[in-house]
Structure 1
């Protein structure tokens, strides 16, 4: 069963002056258990796709299916048990006056779980935080620790799919690799499906099996990570991204 299916997805924003087409005719399939990266420059529509999937953008057409559920204008409660999102900025995604305990216990109760204490302990262990972090507040945590809490919150409903919106770009370089390795381990341990947005090809190469390259709202190429590593993209824009990432222009053979 496929984890995520997008068919001819269009997403737009209406303003008083005009309509902005952010995503245009995008089709993409993410198989269950797979990790797929959406890459492209700022404004290419990557994060808008995640927002449309979670119901945060109501103006769209086409078809979206997640874990066997065809999506309409509203998201069911069951949808949010299957799908969770990790946002870019751990400083903004946690309530400054809620302790780690409050963040996790409220999420667990919202989704109808019992044995809250045991589950919180397991979640903190899963993300590499010990019991001493349970009653701390966001201002008492580093950026990497905050993102670990945000990941624990996303894991709390026991989802099948995580949507990752630049999950390390707001962190210091020294902790980015730790969070990426944690996400790799969690996908294997919990049999998760990932759809990840990033502008960093090295990050996507580490995390993902397939890469979808976006330009001006459209997917211009989908390729295996192995093709990217061998510097064999077919589309000129994909080559441009690779050359920019590597810092040089590859000579023609």
Structure 2
């Protein structure tokens, strides 16, 4: 069953002569429990698609459907219980003056949960931190620990879909594998559906079953991960990306 369906999605910024078309007529779907990658060079429109899905950009057209329900321009509260996003930079995505307990507790409260203390501890356990991190502030955490908190915050509403915007690219290489393995485990444990943006084909090959290659705002090819691993892409740009990653 399709969990996320994108049809003819276009996203633009500005208007008139200043209009910039960031995404043009993108089409893809992601099955329930699957992991789908978006790859391409910087500026190709990958992250813009995630932001359009989350409602963080206002100028878009086409159809975005979650679990067969079309999403409107204004997101309902139920949408944010179903779809959450983990951003690229854990240094920027956490409030510097809020403790881990505040970050997670406020998220749980906003989504209507009442057994907040127990849920905060459970979330910290789920991301491999534990209760000892509960009252620390972002400046007291490493980059990897901050990203674990950001993942815990995204898990708090018990979503079905996680949008992952280069979740390891701002981290030290030694920490990246830990976070990717954590995300793999969480997907299995919680039955999550992932859409992952990355410029690193090896990351997508490790995390995803299929992927779309983007160039200049357009999806030029969709392939399964075996095609990626066997370097059997069809489009010239996809072949160029593969060659550059070897």
SS of the residue corresponding to residue 21 of structure 2 reads strand
Name segments (4+ residues, structure 1) moved above 3 Å.
Answer: none
2:150 is aligned to: 150
Q: C-alpha displacement at 1:17, in angstroms?
A: 4.5
1:213-228 superposed matches below 5 A: 213-228=213-228
Q: C-alpha displacement at 1:173, in angstroms?
A: 0.4
2:86 is aligned to: 86
Taking the aligned partners of 1:57 and 1:121, their CA distance within structure 2 comes to: 33
Task: Report the aligned-residue RMSD.
Answer: 0.9
1:163 is aligned to: 163
Q: C-alpha displacement at 1:11, in angstroms?
A: 0.6
Q: C-alpha displacement at 1:71, in angstroms?
A: 1.0
Normalised by the length of structure 2, the TM-score is: 0.98
SS of the residue corresponding to residue 159 of structure 1 reads coil
Deviations 1:136-160 (CA, angstroms, capped at 9, x unpaired): 0000000000000000000000000
Q: C-alpha displacement at 1:68, in angstroms?
A: 2.5
Normalised by the length of structure 1, the TM-score is: 0.96
1:90-239 superposed matches below 5 A: 90-239=90-239
Taking the aligned partners of 2:211 and 2:107, their CA distance within structure 1 comes to: 32
SS of the residue corresponding to residue 232 of structure 1 reads coil
Q: C-alpha displacement at 1:16, in angstroms?
A: 7.2
Deviations 1:191-235 (CA, angstroms, capped at 9, x unpaired): 000001000001101110001000011111110101110111111
Count of aligned pairs? 246
